[in-house]
Amino acid sequence: MKHKLEYIWLDGTEPTTQLRSKTKIVSNFGIDSRDNGEAPIWAFDGSSTNQAVGSDSDCVLKPVRLYPNPLEEGNHTLVLCEVWNVNNHPHETNTRHRLDLTLQYLDDDTIDEWVGFEQEYTLFHKETDKYFSVPYGWPQDGSKPPPQGDYYCGRNAGEEIVTEHTNACIEAGVSIVGTNAEVMLGQWEYQIGAGGSLHMSDDLWIARWLMEKICYKHGVTVSLDPKPIEGDWNGAGCHTNFSTKYMRGHGGDEFIFKACMDLDKVHKEHMKEYGEGNERRLTGLHETQAIDEFNWGVSDRGASIRIPWQVEKDGCGYLEDRRPSANCDPYRVSKKLIETICS
């Protein structure tokens, strides 16, 4: 029996990496093979993905996590890969491997870091004669819809896409835990995790890939731009929830407060890892702190770091880093948080 393996990887596009994929047809690849992570390595033309030059173009795809493919009927598989060079060294664009190395230096049993991602995104009509770069559900005549606010967890445009994406993530085994309409028309969010940073980052990339494919089928594009519409409209972030074993335990608020103070010291370093174009979103308005300032507070959505009210009440839990942009690389965000908080 023939089986389709969809190999997915991160390319070398700058400043924001993009997802690429291609299909390999194999025989006798069953559920046991998928569960055991037995997909073969493969190669691709790195000169077409900003990862090699034409005279030395071969790059290697090393499978790292396999998922059932919810977009195909039958027993087919999504294969998330790292990119390696033919000399068996990780490619310079391989941010997943760098996170993996960072984790190897930790005492996992002691630290036990968890992350969760709140992925905001904006749906857009494809550019046609009828629509020109306007968010999904916006008026066709170039006028603006009613002000933002009522759309949050209310009636918003694109619910059929959101439902299909949510179901696809569940069927693929992605750790999706929720979804909601956001404050701007055409803007939504889904949540991944919490769990180990490598696994949750993998799941977020697969969730993004699924969203791209589903939107294409519906004649819609998905934008992770941190400020897709200028003016009095919210931007799009990827708020990152982070905790360690100590933060989640009795008296964990002490470790949470220390983490906030440590993050303050290296704020500028973190911002370099948190996504492109973030200065357009982090202005001090629309539930953000200014990009060149740092603060933290309980229930404060205008802070760099928010401590949820339940965490303050319980005296333990997690912190929410509200600085990462929607287009961030979760491997880079996780790595930076671990280096600052767990070192």
Share of the chain above pLDDT 70, in %: 96
Q: Is residue 99 part of a domain?
A: no
At residue 31, does pLDDT exceed 80? no
Indicate the average pLDDT of the chain.
94
* The residue to which tokens 């896409």 are assigned: 161
Is 130 found in the same domain as 234? yes
Instruction: At 134, list the tokens.
Output: 């306007």
**Distance set, CA 198 to CA 5, 111, 222, 236, 334 (Å):** 22, 14, 24, 23, 8
DSSP alpha helix (H) spans, 173-238:
197-217
Q: Of 50, 196, 66, 179, nearest to 121 (Cα)?
A: 179
218 and 139 in one domain? Answer: yes
Comparing CA positions, the residue from 33, 88, 202, 210 lying closest to residue 5 is: 33
Same structural domain, 203 and 337: yes
What integer pLDDT is reported at residue 109 of this predicted model?
A: 65
Q: Residue 259: pLDDT above 80?
A: yes
Residue 260, token pair as written in the block? 């906030």
Q: How confident is the model at residue 195 (pLDDT cuts 50, 70, 90)?
A: very high
72 and 115 inside one domain: no
Cα 39 from Cα 31, distance rounded (Å): 11
Report the pLDDT value the prediction gives residue 35, as an integer from 0 to 100.
Answer: 66
Q: Quote the domain boundaries for residue 302.
A: 108-341
pLDDT at residue number 108: 62
Alpha-helical regions (H) of 73-156: 95-104, 108-111
Does any domain span residue 313? yes
Q: Specify whether 127 is located in the same domain as 88.
A: no
Domain-embedded: residue 101: no
Token pair listed for 60: 């290697």
72 and 159 inside one domain: no
Give the Cβ contact number of residue 237 at 10 Å.
Answer: 27
* Inside any domain, residue 57: yes
Q: Among 93, 119, 143, which residue terminates a domain?
A: 93
Tell me the C-alpha distance between 24 and 44, whole Å: 12
For the stretch 107-133, pLDDT in tens is: 666 789 999 999 999 999 876 555 557
Task: Tell me the pairing of strands 238-243 and 114-125.
Answer: antiparallel
Number of separate domains in the chain: 2
